[in-house]
C-alpha cells in the first residue's frame, strides 16, 4: 500500500548517521606580503565584532514553536518523541555531497551544533460537517490520513557554523539536482530529483533555501518531501514535511510562526 511505502521512506530518511560536514574555508589571514614587499604597519583598525555564540539545548527548546503559536497545526507527540533518536542510525548515499539533504530531512545534526531542539506538528485536518454526505465524510477521512506532517528542528552554532550549514544545503541542492540514493537498515530510497521550492520564496531570517525532494516508491508512485532551511543569526531552523498520500503541502504558516519566535 502507498501509506506503507511512504512510511518506509520516512523511516529510511530518519535513520541517518551523524556525519560532520566539511566546513573548511579559505584562511582570512594574509600572507604578510603584497606584491613581494613587506607592508608597512597601518593604524589599528576598529575592534572586530565578537564571534557568534551558539545557543544551548534549553535555550533552543524555549524558542521552539508550539501548537498554541501555530494555529491550524496539532502537535504530533509520538513523532516528536522519536526525533530524540534520529542521530543513532546510519545511512549511506551514493553521492557523498547529497548526505546533508538526508540529514536535514531527518533533522539529524549537521556539523557541530552547540544546542538542538526538535518537534513535529501536523496540519489540522478539515472535519466533515454535521450534515456531510457519505462521500464528503470519506473524503474527510482521506484528507486526515494524508495530513502533511512537518518536523521542525532548531540547531545553533558558534562562529560561522550556521552559515556553513546553509551553504552546504544550497550546494547539495545544486549538486544533487539529478537525483541520488540513500541506504539505511537494508532499505534503499531513490531520490529522482532535487529542485528549488516552487512556492513563494521564504523571506524570513538572514538566509534561507527551500527544496523539493522527489522519491521513487516501490509501486511506481512518487513521494515529495519539502525541505526548508533558514538561518537567523547563529541558529538554523529546519522544516521537513511529508504526507502519507505522497504529496506534502508547504507549511507556510508554521515557518512564519517559528521565524517570528526566532526574531
Instruction: Name residues whose C-beta falls within 8 Å of residue 9's C-beta, 6 or more positions apart in sequence.
Output: 189, 215, 217, 223, 225, 242
CB-based contact 236:230 (threshold 8 Å):
yes
Cα(206)–Cα(231) distance, rounded to whole angstroms? 6
- Residue 88 in any domain: the answer is yes
Low-confidence ranges of the chain (pLDDT < 50): 1-46
- Residue 257 in any domain: the answer is yes
The boundaries of the domain holding residue 237 are: 2-17+54-262
- Residue 92 in any domain: the answer is yes
CB-based contact 106:11 (threshold 8 Å):
no
Cα separation values, 34 from 26, 37, 101, 195, Å: 18, 5, 41, 43
Cα(174)–Cα(196) distance, rounded to whole angstroms? 9
Give the model's pLDDT for residue 29.
31
**Structural domain total, the chain:** 1
- Residue 27 in any domain: the answer is no
- Residue 44 in any domain: the answer is no
C-alpha cell at 247: 504529496
Give the model's pLDDT for residue 134.
66
The CATH number given to whatever domain includes residue 239 is: 3.40.1000.70
Give the model's pLDDT for residue 136.
62
CB-based contact 217:9 (threshold 8 Å):
yes
- Residue 78 in any domain: the answer is yes
The b-or-e profile of 71-89 (16+ CB within 10 A means b, else e) is eebeebeebbeebeebbeb
- Residue 136 in any domain: the answer is yes
Instruction: Name residues whose C-beta falls within 8 Å of residue 263's C-beta, 6 or more positions apart in sequence.
Output: 232
Cα separation values, 183 from 9, 68, 140, 149, 237, Å: 10, 37, 35, 23, 25
CB-based contact 157:114 (threshold 8 Å):
yes
Give the model's pLDDT for residue 38.
34
- Residue 23 in any domain: the answer is no
Instruction: Name residues whose C-beta falls within 8 Å of residue 176's C-beta, 6 or more positions apart in sequence.
Output: 95, 97, 98, 101, 191, 194
Give the model's pLDDT for residue 225.
94
Residue from 229, 239, 227, 172 nearest 206 by CA:
229
Residue from 72, 147, 63, 155 nearest 109 by CA:
155
How many alpha carbons fall within 13 Å on the CB side of residue 203? 3
Amino acid at each position: 500500500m502507498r501509506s506503507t511505502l511512504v512510511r518506509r521512506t520516512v523511516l529510511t530518511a530518519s535513520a541517518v548517521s551523524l556525519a560532520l560536514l566539511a566546513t573548511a574555508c579559505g584562511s582570512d589571514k594574509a600572507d604578510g606580503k603584497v606584491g613581494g614587499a613587506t607592508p608597512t604597519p597601518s593604524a589599528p583598525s576598529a575592534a572586530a565584532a565578537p564571534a557568534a555564540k551558539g545557543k544551548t539545548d534549553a535555550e533552543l527548546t524555549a524558542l521552539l514553536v508550539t501548537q498554541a503559536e501555530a494555529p491550524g497545526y496539532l502537535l504530533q507527540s509520538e513523532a516528536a518523541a522519536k526525533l530524540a533518536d534520529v542521530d543513532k542510525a546510519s545511512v549511506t548515499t551514493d553521492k557523498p555531497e547529497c548526505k546533508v539533504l538526508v540529514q536535514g530531512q531527518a533533522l539529524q545534526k549537521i556539523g557541530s551544533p552547540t544546542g538542538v531542539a526538535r518537534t513535529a506538528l501536523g496540519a489540522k485536518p478539515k472535519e466533515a460537517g454535521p450534515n456531510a454526505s457519505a462521500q464528503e465524510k470519506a473524503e474527510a477521512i482521506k484528507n486526515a490520513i494524508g495530513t502533511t506532517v512537518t518536523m521542525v528542528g532548531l540547531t545553533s552554532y558558534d562562529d560561522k557554523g550556521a552559515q556553513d550549514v546553509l551553504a552546504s544545503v544550497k550546494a547539495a541542492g545544486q549538486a544533487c539536482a539529478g537525483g541520488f540514493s540513500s541506504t539505511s537498515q537494508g532499505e534503499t530510497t531513490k531520490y529522482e530529483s532535487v529542485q528549488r521550492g516552487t512556492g513563494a520564496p521564504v523571506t524570513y531570517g538572514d538566509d534561507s533555501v527551500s527544496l523539493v525532494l522527489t522519491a521513487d516508491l516501490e509501486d511506481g508512485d512518487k513521494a515529495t518531501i519539502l525541505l526548508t532551511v533558514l538561518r537567523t543569526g547563529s541558529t538554523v531552523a529546519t522544516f521537513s514535511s511529508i504526507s502519507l498520500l505522497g504529496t506534502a503541502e508547504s507549511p507556510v504558516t508554521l515557518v512564519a510562526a517559528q521565524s517570528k519566535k526566532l526574531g
